[in-house]
Structure formats: structure tokens, C-alpha cells
Amino acid sequence: MLTTRPSSFLPRPRTAAVMALALAAALASCGDPLGPDVDRQETPFYYSEDQKIYLTVYPARLTVVPEVEADTGRIRTVLTRRGLSPDSIRPMHVPRHWFVHLPPRTSARRAEDAARWLRLDTGVRFASAAYRRRDLNCPLFLVNRLVARFRPDADPEAIERLNRATGVRNEQVNPSGVRWYEYPPQMAATPLELAAHYHRQPITEWADADRMDSCLRIGVGEATP
């Protein structure tokens, strides 16, 4: 079950200050479209009302969106040429999303690497490792949606600069002002890292990575801030 609002997806918590032109320049100069200002997470987490909710990697599955709808062959090719052969690839209950089931003894690090290989491939729109909440030990499956609400006094130009610098795309805005975006292509950072980056910005009220959340028994589009 997923964590967002309209058009069959989810929203949640905070927003960002001006991401200057220096970050845009960094984009062009390095392979990571998020630039150096996106903090890496040694331990994965998301924010809930400014509190960090820590996670562990659940290495049994990945969530993936191929560039060409239903092109699961590309997913399999990317992984097998790196020596990791998926057990199966099955559709999720989210349009265009697929579960990639990894071999039983796949390590957490290997699963994270696999998600990154897929994200960096031009034939893949989105890929993420799966996670478990440490306190509840139930799985979370991220989907291709970053959700954010900016502060009422946020400068529209500052929002636009942030979005340009990070490379998010296909913005949608619901009547309550919640915005959601697809993650940028060929993204080296994880979706959790980018969501946390948005959440920490001064112009942001809250931001979150949309997900299927079995801990809360909610699905994309069903959560409220």
C-alpha cells in the first residue's frame, strides 16, 4: 500500500532555500546530478516531523521503473552483466513499477549497489533498494515520487532554482499546495537522500520519499502530512 495523494500516488512532510548557481555548475561538472550538497546517508533514514526514522536495507527486493514501460529485459541485463541475476521481476500495484526479487543470500550492500547500477543506466527511470524500519521491522518500498510542501512565503524563484539544481521533473501540484516530482535520471544519490535534502531546505515545510508503507498499512496517495 502506498504513501501519496492524487493520480494513484503519495505526499508528506517539509521545503528549501535558494540553491545557488554554484550547485548548478556542480551538476555539469560531476556525474551525480544532485551535486555535492546532497548529504550521503551512512544509515538510511527519512524525516517524520523533523525526527529521523532510521531504516535498514531489506535486500530481498528492489523497486524499479524502466524507461520503456514493461521493459523488464533491460533491468535483467543491467544486473546480470554485473554478476547479479534476479530471481524474478514482477509488477507492483503501482503503475509502471516492478519488484525485482534478488537471490536469497544477497547482502544489503549488494542490494544498494544494484539499485545504484540501475539508477545510473539510461534505460531505467527509477530504482531503489527496499528498507525496513528498525523499530517495527516491516518493509518499505519506495516509488518514483518525491513529495514536498513549500512554506507559504517561499520565493517561487527559489523553488524553481532548487528543482533545476536537483534535476527533478514532471512537477504536479494538488489543490492543497503539495507538490510531487519524479526523481532525476541517472541519479547517484538515493531517493531517501534527495528527499532529506529537500526537507532540510529553509523554504521547505516538509518533504518525503513516496512509498508503499506496510508499517502504517498505507499506500501511495493515502498519507497525510
**What is the pLDDT at residue 11?**
39
Give per-residue pLDDT as tens, 124-162: 999 999 999 988 888 999 999 999 999 999 999 999 999
Give tens-digit pLDDT for 176-193.
Answer: 999 999 999 999 999 999
pLDDT band at 57 (very low <50, low <70, confident <90, very high): very high
pLDDT average, residue stretch 1-9: 41
pLDDT level of residue 10 (50, 70, 90 thresholds)? very low
Cell numbers found for residue 54: 532510521
3-state helix, strand, coil in the chain (%, to 5): 25, 35, 45
Mean pLDDT, the chain, whole residue set:
85
Structure-block grid coordinates of residue 187: 541519479
Q: Residues near 10 by Cβ (< 8 Å), separated by ≥ 6?
A: 2, 3, 4, 143, 145, 147, 180, 208, 210, 211, 219, 220, 221, 222, 223
pLDDT category, 17, cuts 50, 70, 90? very low
For 212-225, the pLDDT digits (tens) are 987 765 455 443 33
